[in-house]
Structure 1
Amino acid sequence: MEWLTGFFSLIDSLTWGWALIPLLVVFGAFFTLLSGFVQIEYFGRMFRVLRGNDDGADPNAVSARQALLVSVGGRVGGGNIAGVAVAITLGGPGAVFWMWAIALVGMATSLVECTLAQLYKRSVGDGTYRGGPASYIIHGIGPRYRWLAVVYAICLMAAFAFGFNAFQGNTFAGAVNESLGIDRVYPGILLAILTAFIVYGGIKRIAKASDVIIPVMAFGYIALALITIIVNIADVPGVLYSIVANAFGIEEAVGGGVGAALAQGLRRGLFSNEAGLGSAPNVAATALVRHPMSQGITQSFSVFIDTMIICTCTAFIVLLSPVYQPGAEGVDGIVLTQQSLASQFGDWALYYLTLMILLFSFSTIIYNYYLGETALSVMTTHPMAIHVLRIAVVAMTFLGAIAPGATAVFFFSDPLMGLLAVVNLIAIMMLFPIALRVLNDYRDQLRSGIDKPVFHPSKFADLDIDPTAWPLAHEGTEKAQPHHRGEAIA
């Protein structure tokens, strides 16, 4: 067992230890600059997806909004509540600033990888679509690199479908035990039953469940944070100052100063929004949209929601409470967030947060399951394999809930996520020129007055694209309504 632990520890050191975080930051900045700050250029268009699917297409297909909500559900998990508190404890308030910074460049990375996932998606034949990094490796880089897609798929399944689902179960069971004193077994059984019900419905049921759960989860948590801010409005300027001051070393809240703030902020931000890790593109590929860039823009918005909104909510809940003491030890993670809320609203807030954690954890579990299902399709299409996967995911969720030391037991998750991130970064760097072609096609249509650009596979006949995955390609394009200068992208 020791040699196995040492092996995964080596992978972790070679990826997250020193190489991967700088690579993700550099690549994010690279994509931002070469795309002309595309995440800012189309920021106004990101909000259109909230209106729902107006394409008038197959009502059984997964819409752009549903794909967004599934993705948000996956990015937003227990880490947005517990992980942010840990980052502030170890890195001080300045860690929040660097979370914001990595989210800004991560929006461009997510846009590129999710645009590629849409471009190379495949029609399943029942009105749904499947794709992701494995697909754009095989059909974009070439079939001879299928082995690389298989390596990616194995890492994706092990890290997300098994390891991280155990973490989510552990986070929820721990919160219930802390707030209600209920033994971990019972919340574990509840979560396992809910998980089984959803995953046996496939991507359509996952999308429909997310369409309900995610808005309730997000708005419920945001409302609590807004109340916290309003009640402590006089302290907000001081908190903002401390975030910036600690980020640049003007003030030092913890040992390590700027270095600790930078390391914790970047690490927490990358773990939370998953930009560049290759997980979100698997969900982005499921949506029926007019143009690949549409889903790229939508998934860029998902990064914004995760970090700039949800993580910021947790940061203000912690930093505005008297519980948090810079440099103090003993209270961190989910307990710090729980106690911070209790100090503001009383003990009832513990129960409210427990409900939020259930929604956060459950949404992430069903998202992680779908990643595992997509990974499995790369390796085998045997009907029995999918049933084995579903049973295994439900079992791992339950085992994670009842194991107090789940983070130590599932030590392989972070190293494997680091490895799949390296594979994904190699792929999107090789395919970045093609992503720019798709971006320029989208821009050209907007400049010609087309309000809703449509992707035509015939324009990209040199690429291995599935034309049946673009049923809207035959439709006419809609001209934009007259607008004032500067409103073309709103």
Structure 2
Amino acid sequence: MEIFEGLFGAINDLTWGWSLVPILVVFGVFITLMTGFVQFRFFKRMFRVLSSTNQSADPNAISARQALLVSVGGRVGGGNIAGVAVAITLGGPGAVFWMWAIAIIGMATSLVECTLAQLYKRRQHDGNFRGGPARSIIHGLGNQYRWLAVVYAICLIASFAIGFNAFQGNTVAGAAKESLGLSRFVSGAVLSVIAGLVVFGGIHRIAKVADVVIPVMALAYLLMAVLVIVINIADVPGVLSSIIANAFGWEEAVGGGMGAAIANGLRRGLFSNEAGLGSAPNVAATADVRHPISQGITQSFSVFIDTIIICTCTALIILLSDVYVPGANVDGIVLTQQSLVSHLGEWTQYFLTFIILLFAFSSIIYNYYLGENALTVITKHPMAINVLRVSIMGIVFLGATAPGATAVFAFSDPAMGLLALVNLVVIMMLLPTCLRILQDFRTQLAAGIKRPVLNPDDFPDLDIDRTAWTGVAKD
């Protein structure tokens, strides 16, 4: 065990320790500049996907909204509740500012990676689409880079299907034990069985469940947060001021000051919104849309929902309470629960347990699909997916029985670091192609076309699946 801990620690130091965060920031700023601040230019357009009329012409296809909700369900998980609490505990209030910063930059990064996934997606024999960074590597960079696609797929399975699903199980079990006194074994078993019922139904069942669960869980949590903010409205300006002051070292809440705020804010922010990791593109590729940029814009919106809205709600719940103690050794989920109780009473810990269950459940089924999609790149064996489904159930249970989230992060963080490095290299290699697609989208908008359509004939040099672009889908 010590050997594995040493190996994961070394990988974590090589990625998160000195290379990954600067690369993410520099690449994110570069992509923002090269795309002409696309996250701001198309911000108003992002809300169009919420319209009920913006659905696929094929009733059996995954719509743009369904892909958004599955993606939001994956991004919005334990990281938005436990992860934010960990960031504030270790990095002080200033960590919240750096979570915002990485989200704004990440919106452009997510648009690019998800656009590429859409561009290079492949229609399967059942009519569904599969895509993502692994297929972008194979069809965008060439078959000689298939080895890199396999490396990416292995990292995706290790970090999301295994590591992050264990974390979600751990989060639910911790909340259930704190509020209900329920054994970790019982809550872990129940969660793994429920997740199994969904993942055995494939992407269509996942999308249908997400279409119901995600809006309910997000709105319920937002309403609770709004209630806390209204009750403490007089203290909100002071909290926001503290966030800014700590972010730039004008005030020091924890040891390490500004450095701790930046490190923990960026790390936990990326863990939450996943921009640049190459995870969300796997889901983005399933949507039936007219133009790749359309789904890129939609997935950029999911980063905004995750961090700027949901994570900020958690941060305010914690920072407006009298429970938070800078630098204290408190389990993340427990801190959020105790903060809610201090605002609204004991009943809220049961409410939060329910919300955490929904958050974790949506993330588990999302993480499973990422593992499934990655597995199809590594092997075509028909039994492989069923083995993965059973394994996911076991991983969720094992994660739930682990003593704390720290042990899970020790495994998932290094795997996520490797995944991000591979994905960022691919993004930069294929960025010129994405800029061509973006220019095509903008040209059609300038010509008065409200819903741009990708014509594969305009890009004869690209390895595009022509059957995936019929121009009849609505986005």
User: Map of 1:280-319 to 2, 5 A cutoff?
Assistant: 280-319=280-319
Residue of structure 2 equivalent to 1:203: 203
| 1:395-453, Cα deviation, whole Å (9 max, x unpaired) | 11111112325653674322121111111111110000000000000000000001111
Match of 1:326, SS? coil
Aligned partner letter, 2:417: G
Residue of structure 2 equivalent to 1:41: 41
Bigger shift: 348-357 or 243-252?
243-252
Aligned partner letter, 1:193: V
| 1:158-186, Cα deviation, whole Å (9 max, x unpaired) | 21111211111111011100111011111
Aligned partner letter, 1:137: I
Percent identity between the aligned chains? 71
User: Map of 1:350-365 to 2, 5 A cutoff?
Assistant: 350-365=349-364
Residue of structure 2 equivalent to 1:21: 21
Separation of aligned partners in 2, 1:21 and 1:435: 23
User: Map of 1:145-164 to 2, 5 A cutoff?
Assistant: 145-164=145-164
For the pair 1:341 / 2:364, whether they are aligned, the reply is no
User: Map of 1:125-204 to 2, 5 A cutoff?
Assistant: 125-204=125-204
Aligned partner letter, 1:254: V
Match of 1:230, SS? helix
Residue of structure 2 equivalent to 1:124: 124
Aligned partner letter, 2:84: V
Shift of 1:56: 5.3
Question: How many residues in Structure 1 have an aligned counterpart in Structure 2?
Answer: 475
Separation of aligned partners in 2, 1:131 and 1:59: 20
Aligned partner letter, 1:154: I
Residue of structure 1 equivalent to 2:323: 323
Residue of structure 2 equivalent to 1:370: 369
Residue of structure 2 equivalent to 1:264: 264
Aligned partner letter, 2:209: A
Bigger shift: 87-96 or 108-117?
87-96
Separation of aligned partners in 2, 1:177 and 1:413: 23
2:86 and 2:331 in contact (8 A); partners too = yes
Separation of aligned partners in 1, 2:406 and 2:9: 14
Match of 1:412, SS? helix
Aligned partner letter, 1:271: F
Separation of aligned partners in 2, 1:435 and 1:274: 19
Separation of aligned partners in 1, 2:247 and 2:163: 32
CA RMSD in angstroms, aligned pairs only: 1.5
2:122 and 2:465 in contact (8 A); partners too = yes
Aligned partner letter, 1:312: T
| 1:141-172, Cα deviation, whole Å (9 max, x unpaired) | 01011011001111111211112111111110
Residue of structure 1 equivalent to 2:4: 4
Residue of structure 1 equivalent to 2:445: 446
1:323 and 1:339 in contact (8 A); partners too = yes
Match of 2:252, SS? coil
Residues 384 and 332 from structure 1, CA distance in 2 versus in 1: closer, same or farther, beyond 3 angstroms?
A: closer
Separation of aligned partners in 1, 2:196 and 2:329: 36
Match of 2:325, SS? coil
Match of 2:383, SS? helix
Residue of structure 2 equivalent to 1:429: 428
Match of 2:425, SS? helix
Separation of aligned partners in 1, 2:408 and 2:452: 48
For the pair 1:456 / 2:447, whether they are aligned, the reply is no
Separation of aligned partners in 2, 1:91 and 1:406: 17
Shift of 1:58: 0.6
Residue of structure 2 equivalent to 1:71: 71
Aligned partner letter, 2:217: M
Aligned partner letter, 1:391: V
| 1:441-489, Cα deviation, whole Å (9 max, x unpaired) | 000000000111111111111100001111226x8x99xxxxxxxxxxx
1:58 and 1:127 in contact (8 A); partners too = no
Match of 1:471, SS? coil
Residue of structure 1 equivalent to 2:57: 57
Residue of structure 2 equivalent to 1:212: 212
Separation of aligned partners in 2, 1:210 and 1:244: 35
| 1:3-61, Cα deviation, whole Å (9 max, x unpaired) | 33322222111111110111011100000011110000000000000113535511110
Shift of 1:272: 0.9
Unaligned runs of 5+ in 2: none
Separation of aligned partners in 2, 1:23 and 1:438: 24
Separation of aligned partners in 1, 2:32 and 2:329: 40
1:53 and 1:65 in contact (8 A); partners too = no
Aligned partner letter, 1:378: V
| 1:79-130, Cα deviation, whole Å (9 max, x unpaired) | 1101111111111111111111111100000000000000000001322100
Unaligned runs of 5+ in 1: 479-490
Aligned partner letter, 1:39: Q
Residues 80 and 406 from structure 1, CA distance in 2 versus in 1: closer, same or farther, beyond 3 angstroms?
A: closer
1:166 and 1:406 in contact (8 A); partners too = no
Separation of aligned partners in 2, 1:365 and 1:55: 25
Residues 349 and 55 from structure 1, CA distance in 2 versus in 1: closer, same or farther, beyond 3 angstroms?
A: closer
Residues 460 and 55 from structure 1, CA distance in 2 versus in 1: closer, same or farther, beyond 3 angstroms?
A: farther
| 1:171-228, Cα deviation, whole Å (9 max, x unpaired) | 1011100111011111112101111110011000001101111101111111110000
Residue of structure 2 equivalent to 1:230: 230
2:48 and 2:54 in contact (8 A); partners too = no
Aligned partner letter, 1:457: P
1:457 and 1:467 in contact (8 A); partners too = yes
1:369 and 1:393 in contact (8 A); partners too = yes
Residue of structure 2 equivalent to 1:483: none
Shift of 1:332: 4.4
Separation of aligned partners in 1, 2:84 and 2:194: 27
